[in-house]
Structure 1
């Protein structure tokens, strides 16, 4: 009897023990499931919260800087290698690099931030060999555009004393001596554009030509060079100026053989905004180096005043200028950023230097504000964009560019073309915005 009772009690205890174990495991399982569900719920809640909260955008370009530095920082971000400015895949020596880098040099002078100097130096360091040869440059092409980046060499050589930079500058100076000319002595724009002078060419070559002459030529050779520089401006005024509007045509063909050339005058058909911009910048920049006692100095200042007076007649109420300057009301025309930036710079610098009356400073301010109001956009990270820039325009070539109104207004338009951002930086510096 006692044995059976013991057996029954043992069995009962065993059953109770198994029940307790099962209950414990069930609870444990439930706790694990509950815990997993809680974690998933937290994750979902966290995910929903994260989605609901706006992503924090990293600031690349601080908004408390001046516009010149903001645009320069944006350019460095867009083009970490200055050799690839202008949206190219491979490093190259070209005029757009020299344009932006000389604006960068001014930013460096104002800010004393080493990264700007390093950006300039890296370009020359990459493209100029130890023996002074310039990568991608061809002397035989006799292309005035390629002289422009020589400004970078003249900037760097006194600072670095690296002989390769001087030798490279000497190569570019030798191009000027061998550049083909029109019968009356005007530089062809390029060897493959025979007998043609373009307004662009005055900016591409002559500030470098004048600066080099000031630094490295002496006596009669310097006098001859200065005379030659002024002569180029005299020729452009003689052949490209339209007496009625006071504007200058984009190009002039001394042979009058090009399809785009007027058979009587040799001029191209229209007044392109950026071509006029290049010409104005050429005048105010060459005057930095032309001796005060040179008789041609007064003539160039006279040309500049005539130029400024003509341009103000075509300034839009926004403060900007159209792609084809005198046809603002024609279908397809548009307010163009590079020309407008150039004119703002030319007017401001001309007034500050005393070449132009003070009234042109107001015109420059109005133009600049028009750019900010209509053509500048700023991204969430602070990157600054200059919009509505004509990507490129020229005359002749293959496919053939006829210089017609339809041609100019249908060329590609893009944002942040360096032919616009460079002049915008110059204008920002000149107006200290």
Structure 2
């Protein structure tokens, strides 16, 4: 009975939410989709590739890019950047200006003329907040606006002050002392590497690249389960957290999306890490052992992955969209880039087809939905998240979360190459 009521509430909320989005931005949606609608009679034409169909669906749902994380007002947050990364690639591929405008609008709304970042607070030392710096690196390259450069320099300063474990791994946030989360590698390292490539030279650049590779070395050393090849969600160096194993400091479970973040972090960092850096081969070796481990827990029938990776048959577990999309993206990009042998494409394609068959629905107007996304999961905080199996499977599930739609578009683009 509770489950039914919960779903009714979710449907009501979704209907209300879409009403708000449409009401406040009808003009913009009309402009953006006018051409498409006139061509096919649908808001999102069904004769396009999946990458564009999902991107246009996101733009329809969230007419302004700051809305992508279900935000009610402009806020500096990380999920928008994943979809906007995909928009950059779509713009490069198609030349359609609406994709560029969608990205540019994010910078215009979130960065003030003096370079101040709306709602950002460096003192929190929250590594999540570096991820949207990737959007600014792109916009600065294209537009050379001084405000973007100032904002980028602010974010880079956060890295200098980010607290670290005794051996040098970044804490996830200042409020999570001595804790390294897999999520943090994706949130911080592609930005750190890309910024270094664009702005830092000589010995300083080498030092930064060494630091970046070390973050992955440290995770492999401290968070890897040697038996399965999977990595735990987090590690508490102090072993003081209630969720941390008193002997190892590790959290108790293998959460799908945490592993997903880690895979995307590795393949995206390699876009900017110099070809001759000695750490490059190590990261590629980590991708290989990672891919082998996730293929072992891939559902043989559906091709998908579960919210808690190694417990598919336990009560409440479900095939989760964001992790599945992230794994597919990591593998197919690795194959395309030559980090993995071509044989790994089979598992990636099985996962991709599984997403389309089991997790995608298309509305009458052509708008594409990605369902069964875990909304959020973490450790500690208030109320306290204990990292138990029950905790992960009972977090909110929703459709069209940017943490799933973004990786789905990125994976689609890799398959379309």
Alignment partner of 1:399 out of 369, 383, 400: 383
Residue 80 of structure 1 and its aligned partner are, at CA, apart by 0.7
Structure 2 match to 1:347: 331
How far, CA to CA, are the matches of 1:300 and 1:338 in structure 2? 23
* Residues 363-420 of structure 1, C-alpha deviations (whole Å, 9 max, x = no match): 1111000000000000000000000000000000000000000000000000001110
Could you say which residue in structure 2 is the equivalent of 1:303? 286
Report the Cα offset of residue 149 of structure 1. Answer: 0.4
Query: Which of 138, 147, 150 pairs up with 2:133?
Result: 150
Q: Match for 1:325 among 285, 309, 325?
A: 309
Alignment of 1:275-314 (within 5 A): 275-314=258-297
Corresponding residue for residue 153 of structure 2: 170
2:191 matches 1:204: no
Deviation at 1:98? 1.0
SS in 1 for 2:69: coil
The count of residues paired between Structure 1 and Structure 2 equals: 377
CA-CA distance at 1:85 after TM superposition: 1.4
Deviations 1:318-373, CA, capped at 9 Å, x for gaps: 11000000000111100000000001000000011111111111111110000000
| Whole-angstrom CA distance in 2 between matches of 1:132 and 1:91 | 16
> d(CA) in 2 for partners of 1:361 and 1:176?
36
**1: CA distance between counterparts of 2:172 and 2:86?**
24
Name the structure 2 match of 1:90.
73
1:306 Cα deviation after fit:
0.5
Match of 2:400 among 407, 413, 416: 416
Alpha-carbon distance in 1 for matches of 2:67, 2:152: 21
Deviation at 1:58, TM superposition (A): 5.0
Larger Rg: 1
Looking at structure 1, the residues matched to 71 and 264 of structure 2 have their Cα atoms a distance apart, in angstroms, of 25
Which residue in 1 is equivalent to 2:8?
none
1:386 maps to which of 370, 373, 380: 370
SS of residue paired to 1:85: helix
2:167 aligned partner: 184
CA–CA separation in structure 1 for the residues paired with 2:408 and 2:158: 29
Matched, 1:103 2:86: yes
Q: Which residue in 1 is equivalent to 2:109?
A: 126
User: Unaligned stretches of 5+ in structure 1?
Assistant: 1-56
| 1:368 is aligned to 2:368 | no
SS of 1:326's partner is coil
Aligned equivalents of 1:252, 1:409: Cα separation in 2: 20
User: What TM-score, normalized to structure 2?
Assistant: 0.89
For 1:159 and 1:183, the matched residues in 2 are separated by 39
Task: Identify unmatched segments of 5+ residues in structure 2.
Answer: 1-39
- Deviations, residues 7-61 of structure 1 (Å, cap 9, x unaligned): xxxxxxxxxxxxxxxxxxxxxxxxxxxxxxxxxxxxxxxxxxxxxxxxxx95100
Find the aligned partners of 2:78 and 2:69 in 1 and give their Cα distance: 10
Shift of 1:217: 0.4
Q: 2:123 aligns with which of 140, 147, 150?
A: 140
| 2:35 alignment counterpart | none
> Which deviates more from structure 2 when the two are superposed, residues 100-109 or residues 225-234?
100-109
TM-score, length-scaled by structure 1: 0.86
Offset of residue 110 of structure 1 = 1.1
The residue number in structure 2 matching 1:70 is: 53
Q: Which residue of 224, 233, 237 corresponds with 1:241?
A: 224
Q: Deviations over 1:189-246 (max 9, x none)?
A: 0111111000000000100100110111011100100000001001100110001110
